[in-house]
Structure 1
Amino acid sequence: MMGDIFQRAKALPLSGKLGLALVIFWLAVALFGPMLAPYPVGAFVAYDVFDGQSAKYWLGSDYLGRDVLSRLMSGARYTVGLAAAAALLASTSGTALALTAAVGGAKVDEPLSRFMDMLISIPSKIFSLVLVAAFGSSLGLLLLIAAFTYIPGNYRIARALAVNLAQMDYVQVAKARGERRFYIAIAEILPNMIHPLLADFGLRFVFIVLLLSGLSFLGLGVQPPDADLGSLVRENISGLGEGALAIIAPAVAIATLTVGVNLLIDAIGFSGKGKGQ
């Protein structure tokens, strides 16, 4: 299995390898960053605010004299962790509903699809702002908001795939054998949807990173003393005029994370087409 993974990684184009390297880097930072941070996250370690890069503070200090590198390594955990969990929840829920619609017939498909069309018409940021304003900001609520916001988008893509596959001969043969709908959905349709669904999962992840970062920039995301990458940009906005690393570093982190995932998605899609999948 590991050999197959390495072969697939070697087969990626240069842009895909760059994207894979960025994704692995940020996953490693999210998993091990807080343990490897040179200073405690909330410790005031520098005498000067917005201090420049030095051997002691690799990314300088922030608006309170805290080490930017330590806060960046901790903040990546919230950005990557929340976005990955929300994308997984959105993709799993949307795909399950899409399979239900595909094998359930028009009586299930029509009302479910119209309901999803209604949800997808609501602007994601406005919807998020209303819920956060009504119920307050917490990690659990942010997770649910991000997941619920992107379920309709995943549903539309998964449903289109599932409905097309449901017309294939091997699915019709399974129906003629008298197989149950659950078996047809899980064993006959779902395995042939995995490749495009993985690409869609990557897109959902990028959308959710940007959504959560936008909410944090507005002060409605992860709350102090915790901070994600969007929060780090917001709290150091006063250093923009000085070109402080405290605001540049988290902005670059968000950019490299999202660009890396996009490059990897594009490369996976390209290699999939090349194999005729």
Structure 2
Amino acid sequence: MNFFKLLRQSPWSARIGMGVVLINIFAAIFAPVICSFGETEVVGDVWLTPNPANWLGTDHLGRDMFTRLIYGARNTIAIAFVITMLSFVVGTVMGFFAATLGGWTDLTLSRLIDILMAFPTLIFALMVLSVVGTGTGALIVVIALLDSTRVYRLSRAVAMDIAVMDYIEAARLRGERIWWLMRHEILPNAMPPLVAEFGLRFCFVFLFIAALSFLGLGIQPPTADWGGMVRENAGAITFGIMTPLFPAGAIALLTVGVNLIVDWFLHIASGLKD
């Protein structure tokens, strides 16, 4: 009931953001039902303009762009969500662990994270993926580990402020173990900034996957992926064909939609009034 009341009081920017995200989720789930063609099916000549049979035209191989765009939503969003979840599990647990124990544990973990963050993320990911391969599993693990360093820094900072509270000290005196403290005391009080960070990190991961795919080291063809679709059809711009703008616009639209929701949530969590 409180959720629907909150939804009614939400600004139009947040509603637009939720609409964009829900449309993308719906398209990703029901892609086989929505699309008239297969993900890799060749349906006509290359770079056809939009027509009744192909709503967004065709790509560089004659595949339906609308179908590729819908399946691209399924592949890109699903992988980005899995990566974000994995990075948050790893980063949050490590951050809470370091803040709760302190001492050498905190010092060791923090210095390891500093070493990883010293490398430019894109260059480090390109280097690792070029060695271990560009499979989906490798892509998920590499990006999740790199992104978990950012989550670690935030979760550690938030947990350190909570760990010095009186109720944490009271729980320690009762003999509660570290995992109990992290799950029942620190996590509930750290949720607002972590939820907001989850939305932002999803956007960063989503854009990072698109960038890797554009460079040829992300989701591999013939699997549909928005970043890869931009790279594959980039040559169409030379001939005045707008085909690569469709996946580029989808990337931008979803990123803006998620950020609109995050901004609304941060406004609520801060306790500020309009």
TM-score, normalised relative to structure 1: 0.94
- Please tell me the residue identity of whatever aligns with 1:114: R
Taking the TM superposition and a 5 Å limit, the aligned residue runs for 1:15-54 are 15-47=13-45, 49-54=46-51
CA deviations over 1:179-229 (Å, ceiling 9, x no partner): 222211111111111111011111111111111111111111111211211
Q: Distance in 2 between matches of 1:85 and 1:238?
A: 32
CA deviations over 1:45-102 (Å, ceiling 9, x no partner): 123x211122211111111221100011111111101110000000111000011112
Q: Residue 191 of structure 2 aligns with which residue?
A: 194
| Structure 1 residue matching 2:182: 3-state secondary structure | helix
CA deviations over 1:112-132 (Å, ceiling 9, x no partner): 111111111111111111112
Q: Distance in 1 between matches of 2:40 and 2:218?
A: 18
Greater shift in the superposed pair: 64-73 or 236-245: 236-245
Q: Distance in 2 between matches of 1:149 and 1:98?
A: 14
Q: CA deviation at 1:250?
A: 0.3
Runs of 4+ in 1 over 6 A off after TM superposition: none
Identity %, equivalent residues: 39
> Given the alignment of the two structures, is residue 12 of structure 1 paired with residue 10 of structure 2, yes or no?
yes
Match of 2:261 among 249, 260, 264: 264
Q: Residue 141 of structure 2 aligns with which residue?
A: 144
Q: Distance in 1 between matches of 2:270 and 2:165?
A: 20
- Please tell me the residue identity of whatever aligns with 2:54: Y
Q: Distance in 2 between matches of 1:169 and 1:275?
A: 26
Q: Is the 8 A contact 2:31 2:70 kept in 1?
A: yes
| Structure 1 residue matching 2:149: 3-state secondary structure | helix
Q: Is the 8 A contact 2:125 2:142 kept in 1?
A: yes
Q: Is the 8 A contact 1:217 1:233 kept in 2?
A: yes
- Please tell me the residue identity of whatever aligns with 1:77: R
Q: Which runs of 5+ in 2 are unaligned?
A: none
Q: Distance in 2 between matches of 1:142 and 1:243?
A: 34
Q: Is the 8 A contact 2:39 2:224 kept in 1?
A: no
Aligned length: 273
CA deviations over 1:17-65 (Å, ceiling 9, x no partner): 1111111111111211233212112222123x21112221111111122
Q: CA deviation at 1:243?
A: 4.1
Q: CA deviation at 1:275?
A: 6.2
Taking the TM superposition and a 5 Å limit, the aligned residue runs for 1:130-141 are 130-141=127-138
Q: Residue 111 of structure 2 aligns with which residue?
A: 114
Q: Residue 78 of structure 1 aligns with which residue?
A: 75
- Please tell me the residue identity of whatever aligns with 1:100: F
Taking the TM superposition and a 5 Å limit, the aligned residue runs for 1:122-271 are 122-271=119-268
